[in-house]
Structure 1
Amino acid sequence: MTILQLKIASTEVHHTAIIVLGAVLGRLCKAELCHDEVGKAAISFLSHGAAHADDTTLLPFLIGLANAHIPSSVPVLLRHAAGASPQAAALSMAALQRLPAKFISAEAQISLLAISRGEGSTHDPAIRILAIETLLMSEPPYDIVRALLADLHNATSEMARFVLAKVAAMIRASHPVSLTIQKALRDPFIKNYDFFSRDGLSSACWGFISQANASNITYNLDILFSTNGLMRRSNMDVILQGHRDALLVSQVTLEAEGLQSIFGEGLDAGGEDTDATARMSALLFGVQLKPVEFFRGYGDLLSKIWSSTGEPTTAVKGLLSLSRHQQELVLGSGLTLILHGDVALGIDITGNIDVSIWNAKSKTVISSKGAVVVLATAAVVTENWKKGVEVTTDAEVQFDTTTTVHFSRSPYLICLQMERSTFPYREKMVHFSAYQKEEHVLESKRVRVVRIPGAELPLHPANSEMCKQMFATLGSLRSSVAESDSFTDLQGMKGELANKNTWSC
């Protein structure tokens, strides 16, 4: 705390320290250890900073509050959620979503409902949808859920389509608010053709990555488009679910603003004319990281296009020690059993935006790579010898979320793909026996390697039709667009898709 209150020369280091403080405070509060003098000082520092910081220093304080999970920060977060800055509003909404529903009071739910309606200074459709998501996750009463759904009659087609897909995904996932949603959907004012026939590209999908007796790994993929067919926001969550608890393993969010001006399109209803901006943010094991900006402004975009090396931008990369355990047990025979276990995780989340004005195509790829290693040893040790077993398991997997847009004609052609690569799963078991006074070790080894086949994860049916339509236009594009590396990549995607099953939610 003393260091943070001093003036740190490096702005990057100062902002990182604030974010780390929020993460540490969140762990302490989870263990009910944040009520001492140091914990109260940290809470006061983050809350005061978020309430009084200017535009240049506000974001790290909001990320710190998101990591700290402080219920007392709700009023400050609501104020910024209703503010004029889209990025600050999005971070505030993310912080509110991660608080337990019991801390979102009835007054806070009314404020979120006002934001979802575009009241005050909030008109951005992406922020209004974030308010709707936050409100639904707070388990609101029937009256608010009904009002929320009834407001969709006056919403844009993309906004209405996204919310309908979102509530359908929440019902399939048996979210606590799903019963209230189903009750509201029985209202004749909502349950009608006009309400459910809204057209659009936006989607919200939920599905399983893997299923087991003890736990499941699920994903949520939400994609919001503007009325012009440009992607505004995409969000992918990977969640580990047990019988009682759930852990948000990772979350990758890609946001774009102001791209309509680049392609000569008009603004969304209620949208504001902002600089063309694209950024990516990541959340890892409940810790929000600092967003990474791809470009800001048309000039910066052109500079990145001409100077781009094609290498992806890294949002987070590192090696984590998830668990380390060592224990000695004295057996009934008097022998000593030594147990040792280590779990490590390597993660690499990258994003890349490739815009080809010559080919009238843009391609966005978010890659999430993860590798986990589990090492466990059990050995019986005496003064003269030791005997035991060592088990090692490891796996490495990669998820790619690809968005390809052809803007050579209107409406734009958009194809979404979410793929899991083929990955190896290895097990190695070693039995060893040795006399401690000798270097010679007797051992037997058994190794098993299984290759888990890759798969394309399910998306909405309209996406499959759009992908088919996009790839069907390759012949006409060949005559009007010069062949290039980007065009060759698109041909490769066509062949790749043809060899895969088409899934739908």
Structure 2
Amino acid sequence: MTKLDLKNEDQIDLCERYLWSLALGAYPNSEVVKKLFSTYKKSSHEIPAKLNETTLLSLASMSYKLRQTIGSVGKEVSQKIKRYILEKLREYKGETSFPYLRAIKNLKSQTTIPDLLKKIKEGTLKEGVFTWKALKAFGKDNWTTEVKSVARKSFLQLDRKYDTSSRTIASEILLQSNPDDKTLNEMIYYLASNDTATEVKQYVLQTIRMLAEDDPQLEESVLRIIKSDKRLNNYSVLNPRGLSTAIRRHFTKSHSGSGSLVSLQEISSSVVKRGVVDILWSKKEGISELVSLGIFTSGLTSFMSSETEETDEEPMSAGIELTVLGNQLRPFVFFNGQGELMGHVWSGTASDRTTANQALTMLQDHLELLRLGSGFIVELELKGAVSLDLAGKIEISLWGRTADSVVEKCAGIFLSGSMKVDTSFVRSQIEFTVTMEPQLKLESDLDFSSNMKCCLKFSQVDVLLKHNIYKIERIVGSKHKLRIAKYKRSTIPGVTYSLNRKNNRMCSSNYQ
């Protein structure tokens, strides 16, 4: 910490990696956090922009974890960080407020909700999008009645005009918060409304279908409402125009839980405006988000069509957002403005596979001692690590009027656990290791030579799961030693996910 120079631009990469490791740690040191916060407050205006935001987001993540710990020192530091972020959020407007909205997403403090709701009502359209992203990250336990009321107004645009991304995120919150019949009825009847935002309708319909697959009660309520009115139970309402998708697919199931993949794609004029790919682990206690990859674009609709559903005066930009174990990293921006975009096109900057982010972080770090009824003490230990590699490439042909892109999310996961009983006369333990290397691919093939055709392919490669179990037993003072090993190998087959019928038809026509 003493050698950390946040002002030195030559050390940005090293400083960022150190700060990411602090943010992802399970048990942050309150003294380290206190010193880092003090340094940041004194020299924030001298720190390079990228490192400035990384420091802010890391402080917010550590503040959230300190709030869960026992001890007055950690909670005092956490309160100071929260007050600082809120003061800056109230002070800054427009783009300058975006880093603080992302920080509040990592902070996850229910006391910030009033400020966030005020930002939705009075802020810019773009501020509203970042605010809804933060509120969604809080989880449904923190979605108060007031949050759901504002979500309803945003979704239906009852008090002002909202960005389509704000509306789609607000609809997710309404649908995921166990909606009553009145709310569900209102959302389904929206599909038959005269709203020209067809992609919003498609997104809502896809989300309802996705959630209903795993919730029989929701499915029953939706079918009852649709069948009760002919205005709803028809092809026009249940198959709106649009390419937006929302799917959930399970890639592994076991007694300890199940892994699932959720893909949400919000389309605007055939261009992905907001895309999210979440890898989730579900068990009885709840759902944990392991990794989330977000894609965002703005100002690109003019390339695809001269007539858009809503005026888009934003500058051209695109990038990705990565959230690891609930901690959002700063966004990685590919380009800002048409000049940078065309520079990449002519130079072929990303025509080769380019790594956007690599990380090695702790996945689990748990130690527990249990006293048995016999008086013996059992030591339970679980440690895990994950190595992430996010990379991609894009090839654009102005002559052939085609564009092909690939985004790859690769991971190496290692888990090691043990259960030990150590007494004066016998030592017995069981150990296990689990390793796997999952990989996801998002490919897009775009042909704009005549009629625009866009094919999206979302696939998962074959994954080999290795599970090794060892039992070791020794009797103190004797030569007795027992070691039993069991090795398991299982393959999770690769699969290409079907997004929707329209996309399937476009893919078929592209490869004829």
Q: TM range, normalised to the smaller chain?
A: 0.7 to 0.9
Residue in 2 that maps onto 1:73: 112
- 1:42–1:267 Cα change, 3 Å: farther
Superposition deviation, residue 241 in structure 1: 0.9
Q: 2:294 aligns with which of 243, 246, 253?
A: 253
Cα separation, 2, equivalents of 1:298 and 1:291: 19
AA of the residue aligned to 2:198: S
Residue in 2 that maps onto 1:425: 465
After superposition, residues 215-234 of structure 1 pair within 5 angstroms as 215-226=257-268, 228-234=269-275
Q: 2:172 aligns with which of 113, 127, 133?
A: 133
- For the Cα contact (< 8 Å) 2:353–2:392, is it kept in 1? no
Between the aligned residues of both structures, percent identity stands at: 17
Superposition deviation, residue 456 in structure 1: 1.8
Superposition deviation, residue 436 in structure 1: 11
Cα separation, 1, equivalents of 2:264 and 2:334: 20
Cα separation, 2, equivalents of 1:182 and 1:72: 38
Deviation string, structure 1 residues 372-415 (Cα, Å, up to 9, x no partner)? 212235667789997866533311111112222212222x2122
After superposition, residues 238-317 of structure 1 pair within 5 angstroms as 238-263=279-304, 265-305=305-345, 306-309=347-350, 310-315=352-357, 317=359
AA of the residue aligned to 1:19: L
Cα separation, 2, equivalents of 1:466 and 1:220: 22
AA of the residue aligned to 1:212: S
- 1:326–1:160 Cα change, 3 Å: closer
After superposition, residues 1-400 of structure 1 pair within 5 angstroms as 1-8=37-44, 9-10=46-47, 11-30=49-68, 36-82=75-121, 85=124, 87-101=126-140, 103-118=142-157, 122-152=161-191, 153-155=193-195, 156-174=197-215, 181-182=222-223, 184-186=225-227, 188=229, 189-226=231-268, 228-263=269-304, 265-305=305-345, 306-309=347-350, 310-315=352-357, 317-325=359-367, 340-377=381-418, 390-400=431-441
State how many pairs are aligned. Answer: 468
Deviation string, structure 1 residues 284-314 (Cα, Å, up to 9, x no partner)? 2222221111112111111122151523342
AA of the residue aligned to 2:359: K
More deviation in 396-405 or 180-189? Answer: 180-189
After superposition, residues 413-492 of structure 1 pair within 5 angstroms as 413-429=453-469, 447-472=487-512
Q: Structure 1 unaligned runs (5+)?
A: 473-505
- 1:359–1:13 Cα change, 3 Å: same
- 1:451–1:121 Cα change, 3 Å: same
More deviation in 239-248 or 33-42? Answer: 33-42
- 1:85–1:298 Cα change, 3 Å: farther
AA of the residue aligned to 1:62: L
AA of the residue aligned to 1:283: T
More deviation in 253-262 or 55-64? Answer: 55-64
Cα separation, 1, equivalents of 2:204 and 2:333: 27
Cα separation, 2, equivalents of 1:216 and 1:434: 36
Cα separation, 1, equivalents of 2:335 and 2:296: 11
Cα separation, 2, equivalents of 1:137 and 1:385: 52
- For the Cα contact (< 8 Å) 1:124–1:272, is it kept in 2? no
Compute the TM-score of the two structures, normalised by the length of structure 2. Answer: 0.79
Compute the TM-score of the two structures, normalised by the length of structure 1. Answer: 0.80
- For the Cα contact (< 8 Å) 2:463–2:494, is it kept in 1? yes
Superposition deviation, residue 197 in structure 1: 3.5
Please, what is the CA RMSD of the aligned residues?
3.6
Residue in 2 that maps onto 1:407: 448
Superposition deviation, residue 56 in structure 1: 4.8
- 1:57–1:375 Cα change, 3 Å: same
Deviation string, structure 1 residues 317-373 (Cα, Å, up to 9, x no partner)? 2222512437698997x9998765432222223344443323322233332222221
Cα separation, 1, equivalents of 2:174 and 2:203: 15
- 1:76–1:421 Cα change, 3 Å: same
- 1:67–1:397 Cα change, 3 Å: same
**Helix, strand or coil: the match of 2:250?**
strand
More deviation in 318-327 or 235-244? Answer: 318-327
More deviation in 419-428 or 444-453? Answer: 444-453
Deviation string, structure 1 residues 242-264 (Cα, Å, up to 9, x no partner)? 1231111222111221112234x
- For the Cα contact (< 8 Å) 1:233–1:255, is it kept in 2? yes
Deviation string, structure 1 residues 123-172 (Cα, Å, up to 9, x no partner)? 43233222222333344443343333333322333221221111111111
Cα separation, 2, equivalents of 1:64 and 1:222: 23
Superposition deviation, residue 55 in structure 1: 3.8
- For the Cα contact (< 8 Å) 1:404–1:416, is it kept in 2? yes
